[in-house]
Structure 1
Amino acid sequence: MTRIRRTVAAASVALVALALTACMSDDRSGPSGAPRASTPADLATGQVAPDGATTDVVTGLEAPWSVVRTGHGADALVSLRDSAEVLELTADGETRTVGIVPGVQHGGEGGLLGLALHDDDLFVYSTGEDGNRVERYDLRGSAGSYELGDATTLIDDLPANTFHDGGRIAFGPDGMLYASVGDAGASEDAQDQDSLAGKILRLTPDGDVPDDNPFPGSPVWSLGHRNVQGLGWSADGTMFASEFGQDRRDELNVIEPGSNYGWPEVEGSGGEDRGFVDPVQQWATDDASPSGLAVVGDTVFIANLQGRVLRGVPVDDPGTAREYFAGEYGRIRTVLAGPDDTLWFVTNNTDGRGDPGAGDDRIVQVPLTTGS
């Protein structure tokens, strides 16, 4: 039994993909060989796009999964999936170990996964001996000297497997903690409201079930998911989630409380007449494997593993997309807003499924331009 601690539906439309990368050099070591992106000529007001040459923020990471900035300039925390280390990336580009999350059982896609910061606490999603779990750690010290303090388990015994572990956690604009839980290989459980497999969960920062969740007494926020790995919100509160499909279609969904997104009855679009919510955009699985997601301005940026590309999707036209850095950096796991009007994205070539290049894995930074 799972223990909980007490203390825009739209039809899928065709993808409009515009390849905007240049400088196809494999040399990532310096500005002269760095891939570049150019602002699209038709960038609408409020939309955001990469514009300029990339630079490496840090290199030599082993299977990085999640990155959260601490709010102190370029200082950030990074999770390493296999070693269960939380690293601090300091403003000068150096790394130091903040701590090792105890009891992490790495295997396949499991291990130390999502991170989130809230009120000076670090929230961690990881795979333990008895399944996946979400813990809250006191984050002690300050920039350059952070340490992991005491841990409190918020929810555990979440479904786990060597694949489909979900793992993304994020705080919404309502101050609640959202967590994606994969179907853990038991696809039928995604349709079972009483199972936490194949769900997006919503909890208070203390691990309680909010009174306004759609199913009384349940942490379930939405169901019918296969393996959500990206969560984010636009300025108007719209919640977006990126999701791995199986053989046919990967998805970008707009998440509404209590809604059912169809897996395994439906993969991709075609479920509305059966009471399921269709994705606002879908891709062939070979072209996507959408992982981390970040909303910056009026653009949803999506990191893609199998597709080896960064996509930008307009919030007000989510059935379209632009592509950046296609094939330049290999697998891309995570994307987030960087400091000083930049975008960061995280490669994932050392996790056993990629083809590592010199310096992999890395966090990459690129300047951003906002349409006006």
Structure 2
Amino acid sequence: MFGIFSIGFVSFSSAQEFPELGIKVETVAENLKIPWEIDFAPDGRIFFTERIGNLRIIENNLVSEPIISLKVSGSEGGLLGLALDPDFEENHYLYLYYSYSDFFDIYNKVVRYVESDNKLFNETILLDKIPGSQIHDGGRIKFGPDGKLYITTGDAANSKAAQNLDSLAGKILRINSDGTIPEDNPFPNSPVYSLGHRNPQGIDWHPESGILVETEHGPSGERGNAHDEVNVIFPGNNYGWPNIVGDETNVDLINPILHTGDDTWAPSGSVFYNSDKISEWYGKYFIATLRGNHLRMLDLDLENNLVISSNVLLDGEFGRLRSVNMSPDGYLYLLTSNQDGRGAPTHNDDRILRITPLESDMEKGNSSLSPLKQLKSGILPKNISCKEGLELIFKINSFHPACVKSESIAKLVDRGYSSSLD
């Protein structure tokens, strides 16, 4: 497993403060070419992919030259997913997911390298011929708490493939770190873990229950628009695409725990916050949104398939957000995606951003309290309110606020929530 992680040598630019959230956002690197995924080595190095085919490193500062540049297919495909092996400190295995052209066809593959001194050696293909397209290539790879490698694949613009168990498209896949198929996969001799996905993006596991949650882009065209999804994933389940969308039901298909209705978030990378650095965020599910231009924070009751609260953070502040991940020292990192042809890039896009808590008021010599700190002091701040039809409740041990429907309050009492600060 990972050892001690230290990022003390990484340089940061001046921070932008958000007192209402109790955080500041620092720029770690800028002027990047569509960064897509980020991961962290135990020695403090930061690895990240650029969709144009580059794997790059931040070591003290951004290393100017990529450690590898792959020939990739373009549009929504390219060099996408990245994961470091849970035993990276010992084996230095690094995994990539990327799109490539084979004559007139586009495919995706998962490969493993051995990293040494910022160079890659011994490419091993673990999974190949994953259907690809100019759109809907999935691309997230991440190790689960069981030590298996999970892979999201899009339907590659062929919606019927998502329901076909003989196709790797429109699925969440699960393999061993050497590319073999785990014996306990739900379908014999198949890497398929779940099916019926349109374009799955973010995946992560709740830090206590170990339940897997996924984000997914909703439809456009003949099945309507929007209805982006957050799904609770269990092995062998069918999540319905293209047979059901939104609130449509089928006895054999699984509905999302949340869909966006007529709004389009274009949810991308996601992570459960598993740190005490910002204690009120512990256990919350964070989603980077592309079209939404914000960081979404969800409080999920996974046992009862219930969304307790859904909050927008950093709305419009940094444009399109492609990925969010948590470093071993407990801070969130964001990747912007304003150079992908659908954003409005500024002079220093794209960027890698780091979220850290603001200094305490005593450290800053400032007696004014943010709304969140007022809550922790037992004071109800004037500028925290809920939309019509929702009621304000609080987590008793942290005073974390949430806006919920009245009929949900009774269900939340046993989970440590109260509608009163008394």
> Structure 1 stretches (4+) deviating beyond 3 angstroms?
284-287, 338-341, 368-372
Q: Distance in 2 between matches of 1:308 and 1:262?
A: 27
TM-aligned CA distance change 1:108 to 1:98, over 3 Å: closer
Matches within 5 A, 1:51-130: 51-73=22-44, 75-82=45-52, 84-90=53-59, 92-102=60-70, 104-118=71-85, 119=87, 120-130=92-102
Which stretch of the first structure deviates more once superposed, 355-364 or 319-328? 319-328
Residue identity opposite 2:77 in structure 1:
G
Contact 1:248–1:267 (CA<8 Å) still a contact in 2?
Answer: no
Displacement, 1:237? 0.9
Give the one of 120, 144, 154 matched to 1:172: 144
Query: Could you say what secondary structure the match of 2:162 adopts?
Result: helix
Matches within 5 A, 1:16-35: 30-31=14-15, 34-35=16-17
Displacement, 1:101? 4.5
Matched, 1:36 2:18: yes
Q: Distance in 1 between matches of 2:19 and 2:175?
A: 39
Give the one of 271, 275, 288 matched to 2:265: 288
Matches within 5 A, 1:1-372: 30-31=14-15, 34-36=16-18, 38-39=20-21, 51-73=22-44, 75-82=45-52, 84-90=53-59, 92-102=60-70, 104-118=71-85, 119=87, 120-130=92-102, 131-141=107-117, 146-235=118-207, 236-246=209-219, 247-271=225-249, 273-284=250-261, 286-297=263-274, 298-316=283-301, 317-318=306-307, 320-338=309-327, 340-368=329-357, 372=398
Q: Distance in 2 between matches of 1:110 and 1:363?
A: 20
Q: Distance in 2 between matches of 1:264 and 1:137?
A: 35
Displacement, 1:366? 1.3
Q: Which has more radius of gyration? A: 2
Please report the TM-score for the alignment, with normalisation by the length of structure 2: 0.73
Contact 1:68–1:116 (CA<8 Å) still a contact in 2?
Answer: yes
- State the number of aligned residues: 323
**1:184-243 deviation digits (Å, cap 9, x = unpaired):** 000011011111110000000010111100000010000000000101001211001000
Which stretch of the first structure deviates more once superposed, 165-174 or 105-114? 105-114
Contact 2:57–2:67 (CA<8 Å) still a contact in 1?
Answer: no
Contact 1:86–1:97 (CA<8 Å) still a contact in 2?
Answer: no
Residue identity opposite 1:325 in structure 2:
L
Unaligned stretches of 5+ residues in structure 1: 1-28, 40-50
Displacement, 1:286? 4.4
Kindly report the root-mean-square deviation, in angstroms, between the aligned alpha carbons of the 2 structures: 2.0
Match of 2:394 in 1: none
Query: Could you say what secondary structure the match of 1:188 adopts?
Result: helix
Residue identity opposite 2:211 in structure 1:
T
Displacement, 1:267? 1.7
Unaligned stretches of 5+ residues in structure 2: 1-12, 220-224, 275-282, 359-371, 373-396, 399-422
Q: Distance in 2 between matches of 1:339 and 1:121?
A: 18
Query: Could you say what secondary structure the match of 1:320 adopts?
Result: strand
Q: Distance in 2 between matches of 1:138 and 1:364?
A: 27
Contact 1:98–1:148 (CA<8 Å) still a contact in 2?
Answer: no
Match of 1:24 in 2: none
Residue identity opposite 2:169 in structure 1:
A
Report sequence identity in percent: 40
Q: Distance in 1 between matches of 2:97 and 2:172?
A: 13
Higher relative contact order (CA 8 A, sep 6+): 1
Query: Could you say what secondary structure the match of 2:307 adopts?
Result: coil
Query: Could you say what secondary structure the match of 2:347 adopts?
Result: coil
Residue identity opposite 1:212 in structure 2:
D
Contact 1:343–1:368 (CA<8 Å) still a contact in 2?
Answer: no
Query: Could you say what secondary structure the match of 2:67 adopts?
Result: strand
Residue identity opposite 1:182 in structure 2:
G
**1:266-296 deviation digits (Å, cap 9, x = unpaired):** 122322x431111111114644100001111
